[in-house]
Amino acid sequence: MPEINTDDLDEQQVQLLAEMCIVIDENDNRIGADTKKNCHLNENIEKGLLHRAFSVFLFNSENKLLLQQRSDAKITFPDCFTNTCCSHPLSTPLELEENKAIGVRRAAQRRLQAELGIPLEQVTPEEIFYLTRIHYKARSNGIWGEHEIDYILFVQKNVMLNPDPNEIKSYCYVTQEELKELLEKASQNEIKITPWFKLIAETFLFKWWDNLDHLKKFVDHTKIHRM
């Protein structure tokens, strides 16, 4: 694996690079584990290294979507606006469990607390709705990037927030119209958004958002959408 100098990166974020992600093949079959660092190096991604991830979309009782702006400390896509929470299940017994994606949903609960300060009891794995999966690849800069099969998870809940400033620069709840304005600003390079959020917003998000009370008709656990 390539040697990368991390001296100029945020100390707290560098510590997270040692976490073990779940390495998978293109059909989301687990084939091993590797560090978060190795999974996010473009040099490895270009050789096909692929890992399991998730994206949470949390809506409050007014059907507004919670967005976050990633902190400047983040190693990939700093300062970018994105959906509620995006991270990875770890190669641990609880998060490796695949039945009904329970391991991924447990990971989402863990990261909702770590990033946004949402108490564990406020969003349980049972309240996290697994919709489908997407497969995408994106470069953050010359060194770091993403190559993930991303589980799309929906939550409909009013929650208490206490974000970690090392993870999150700002957050806001948006209506559909407000998100469309944000996407337009991003297209004019006035703000930055993450590539996975852009892909999901341009393809599926508004259709799903219109049907929050009828999401079951959009569930597809067999197909992986190649983006």
Classify residue 176 as left (phi > 0), alpha (psi -120 to 50) or beta: alpha
End-to-end CA distance of the chain: 27
Please tell me the distance from the alpha carbon of residue 111 to that of residue 120, in angstroms, as a whole number.
10
What 3-state DSSP class applies to 216? helix
Annotated catalytic residue, options 95, 115, 146, 148? 148
Task: Identify the three-state secondary structure at position 86.
Answer: strand
- Which member of 80, 85, 86, 95 is catalytic? 86
Strands (E), the chain: 20-24, 30-35, 51-59, 65-70, 81-82, 85-87, 129-139, 145-156, 168-174, 224-226
d(CA 142, CA 139): 7
Q: What is the DSSP string of 121-139?
A: GGS-GGGPEEEEEEEEEEE
21 counts as catalytic? no
Q: Known catalytic residue: 172?
A: no
Could you list the active site residues? 86, 148
